[in-house]
């Protein structure tokens, strides 16, 4: 199955999510926002109404979802964010959102760096990325297992995997400075036993996903 077919086969709910932990990180006063992987545009539409934004733009790989989003947002570009040229000047957007996107890319480092060109000085990027160091994934690896799944940390469409420190390095590479960190955790009895077995040295074992807010620094 091709990557295109993998995305097309996903449940439609995958494209209709509103991530409140991302929405809550958008600064007051935001006027222009770009969402990479905007899906059907539901979250971006909510954000525009909540913050009274002037312009909300989305980029979406899936044609069907992009078509739906185009009825909700000011502009939607359908295509691969790694290869398209955005028709916007430098320092244009106040906020760029990459929610569960960067792990799907061949070169997220250079792609994010390219996106930040269109972010104003002092503007923020909000990224959401799964944690490959989650205890259950590490436990599976120790059992010589690494089985891709239809969703989650080992989603079969994920091309890159990150830990907390490598996410921060990714942001720094793009000229961004972390100003906020949010953790989506999963407290499970097995995870508590895992912490005991690793003597507490396996940090962030309970984190399924990180949400970082990072600010564009003066060059």
Band (pLDDT 50/70/90 cuts) for residue 2 is: very low
CA distance 82 to 91: 19
Tell me the average pLDDT of the chain.
Answer: 90
| Segment 108-145, tens digit of pLDDT | 999 999 999 999 999 999 999 999 999 889 889 989 99
Band (pLDDT 50/70/90 cuts) for residue 71 is: very high
DSSP 100: S
CATH superfamily of 3-130+158-185+209-216: Vaccinia Virus protein VP39 (3.40.50.150)
Stretch 9-19: mean pLDDT: 59
Stretch 205-214: mean pLDDT: 94
| Segment 97-111, tens digit of pLDDT | 999 999 999 999 999
Instruction: Using a pLDDT cut of 90, give the percent of the chain over it.
Output: 78
Q: Are the beta carbons of 53 and 30 closer than 8 angstroms?
A: yes
Is the pLDDT confidence value at 66 over 60? yes
| φ/ψ (deg, to 5) at 83 | -120, -20
Burial class (CB in 10 A: 0-12, 13-18, 19+), 14: middle
Stretch 187-209: mean pLDDT: 70
Count Cβ neighbours within 10 Å for each residue of 187-205 and write b for 16 or more, e otherwise: eeeebeebbeeeeeebebb
Q: What does the domain layout of the chain look like in residue ranges?
A: 3-130+158-185+209-216
Burial class (CB in 10 A: 0-12, 13-18, 19+), 10: middle
Would you state the pLDDT for residue 15?
A: 44
């Amino acid at each position: 199955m091709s990557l295109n077919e993998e995305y097309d086969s996903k449940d439609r709910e995958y494209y209709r999510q509103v991530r409140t932990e991302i929405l809550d990180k958008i600064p007051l006063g935001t006027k222009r926002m770009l969402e990479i992987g905007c899906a059907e545009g539901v979250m971006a539409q909510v954000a525009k109404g909540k913050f009274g934004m002037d312009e909300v733009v989305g980029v979406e790989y899936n044609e069907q979802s992009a078509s739906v989003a185009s009825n909700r947002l000011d502009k939607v570009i359908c295509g691969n964010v790694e290869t398209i040229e955005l028709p916007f000047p430098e320092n244009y957007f106040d906020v760029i959102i990459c929610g569960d996107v960067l792990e799907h890319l061949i070169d997220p480092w250079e792609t994010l760096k390219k996106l930040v060109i269109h972010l104003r000085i002092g503007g923020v990027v909000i990224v959401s990325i799964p944690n490959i160091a989650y205890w259950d994934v590490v436990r599976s690896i120790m059992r010589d297992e690494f089985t891709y799944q239809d969703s989650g940390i080992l989603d079969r469409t994920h091309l890159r995997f990150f830990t907390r420190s490598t996410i921060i390095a990714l942001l720094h590479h793009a000229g961004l400075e972390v100003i906020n960190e949010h953790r989506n955790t999963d407290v499970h009895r097995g995870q508590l036993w895992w912490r005991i077995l690793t003597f507490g040295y396996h940090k962030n074992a309970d984190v399924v996903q990180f949400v970082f807010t990072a600010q564009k620094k003066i060059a």
